[in-house]
Amino acid sequence: MSIPLTEQENPRTVGISSLPTAEVVRLMNEEDARVAVAVEKVLPDVARAVDGIVERLRTGGRLFYVGTGTSGRLGVLDAAECPPTFGVSPELVQGIIAGGYDATYRAVEASEDDRGAGAHDLDVRGVAGADVVCGIAASGRTPYTIGAVEHARSMGAFTIAITCVPGSEITRAAEVSIVPVVGPEVIAGSTRLKAGTAQKMVLNMLSTAAMIRLGYVTGNRMTNLLTRNTKLRARAVRILAAETGLNETEAAAQLKAAGGDLRAALVMRKAGVPREEAERALAETKGVVQRAVEYLLSTKPDTKVNV
């Protein structure tokens, strides 16, 4: 078998084990600088994937990340960050990793060789044709992930592949392939390095751009964030003040009146309605603040927006 690009030896780092610490980290930094350039070259593919994700999520679908090892952990991480950042249900974006929950903190590498297990794990989560499945595999040849993507596509789901090896098997399995070519790793085959960084960058773009398009961000503000700790409550107060013109004391009082829900506080203030009405409007508009405000104003033409 030919050696995938991600498994080849890097000629620029062949002597790294004998270098002083300062040179080791300098070489690593130089290699990392190549990652953003590689991702830049595949931005059109990232945009196509985002548009496909948005189309499915708007009609009730969900986004599933599937992978093994580092790739799987990165998918789980990105999925876990969506609810607190964008105020969406944990069901909307989900991570599936070979070997289950234990594999997120302990290597369960043998599980990646089971092609049927990927399809089985999708079925356990109830993945259907309305959903999106994004397979993440640095080498592009992981049986578990390829099996999951093939199964998803056979059901009519929108499928995406993220890999760092052009022409690999997973690129043929998915409808849209995102292939940032980062080259051989600093340590041959250690794809938690450049390949992992590239995958993380792409995942950030997929989820963030999709949530922006769905309306869970206003300007560049996280207007749907969940206030689950002191830091996030303080951030919510600042966002509320910036969005409505209230001072921070007034914004804190408005947030308290909304039960700590930034979304409800924004709708209450902008549409001039009580908490219960704001919450009903948010339920009608899938938690999108601006749409909730517009919905309320359309049903109460005499209401003015508070800015």
* DSSP annotation string for the chain: -PPPGGGSPPGGGTTGGGS-HHHHHHHHHHHHHHHHHHHHTTHHHHHHHHHHHHHHHHTT--EEEEESHHHHHHHHHHHHHHHHHH---TTTEEEEETT-GGGGTS--GGGGG-HHHHHHHHHHTT--TTSEEEEE-SSS--HHHHHHHHHHHHTT-EEEEE-SSTT-HHHHHSSEEE-----S-SSTT-TTTHHHHHHHHHHHHHHHHHHHHHT--BTTB-TT----SHHHHHHHHHHHHHHH---HHHHHHHHHHTTT-HHHHHHHHHHT--HHHHHHHHHHTTT-HHHHHHHHHHH-TT-----
Looking at the structure, do residues 40 and 157 belong to the same domain, yes or no? yes
Residues 116 and 188 in one domain: yes
d(CA 143, CA 146): 5
Strands of 63-67's sheet in order across: 93-97, 63-67, 132-136, 158-162, 176-178
Q: How many domains does the chain have?
A: 2
Residue 55 designated active-site: no
Q: What is the pLDDT of residue 147?
A: 97
Q: Which of 165, 187, 214 is the last residue of a domain?
A: 214
Q: How high is the pLDDT of residue 97? A: 96
Residue 289's alpha-carbon distances to 129, 217, 237, 263, in angstroms, are: 29, 9, 16, 6
- 207 and 168, same structural domain? yes
Is residue 61 in a domain? yes
224 within some domain: no
Q: CATH number of the domain at 35, please.
A: 3.40.50.10490
Task: State the pTM of this model.
Answer: 0.92
pLDDT at 161: 98
In a domain, 221, yes or no: no
Same domain? For 205 and 254 the reply is no
Residue 80: the pLDDT is 97
Indicate if 198 and 278 belong to the same structural domain. no
Please confirm, yes or no, whether 112 is among the known catalytic residues: yes
Instruction: Kindly state whether residues 162 and 236 are assigned to the same domain.
Output: no
What pLDDT does residue 103 have? 87
pLDDT at 305: 53
Tell me if 215 sits within 8 A of 288, measured CB to CB.
yes
> What's the pLDDT at 101?
87
Output Rg (C-alpha) for the chain, integer angstroms: 22
Is position 207 within any domain? yes
Do 190 and 252 lie in one domain? The reply is no
Same structural domain for residues 204 and 256?
no
* Residue tagged active-site, from 7, 55, 81, 175: 81
Regarding whether 239 and 286 lie in a shared domain, the answer is yes
Of 112, 150, 243, 277, which one is the catalytic site residue? 112
Tell me whether residue 220 is in a domain: no
Which pLDDT score, from 0 to 100, does residue 1 have? Answer: 55
Is residue 223 in a domain?
Answer: no
pLDDT profile of the chain (307 residues), mean per 10: 84 94 97 97 98 97 97 97 94 96 80 90 97 97 97 98 97 98 94 96 98 95 93 96 96 97 97 96 94 90 55
Same structural domain, 41 and 116 = yes
- The reported pLDDT for the residue numbered 306 is 60
Kindly state whether residue 115 falls inside one of the protein's structural domains. Answer: yes
Pair 166, 199 in one domain: yes
pLDDT at 76: 97
Examine residue 307 and state whether it is found in any structural domain, yes or no.
no
The residue segments making up the domain with residue 38 are 5-214
Question: What is the reported pLDDT for 71?
Answer: 96
Are both 118 and 152 inside the same structural domain? yes
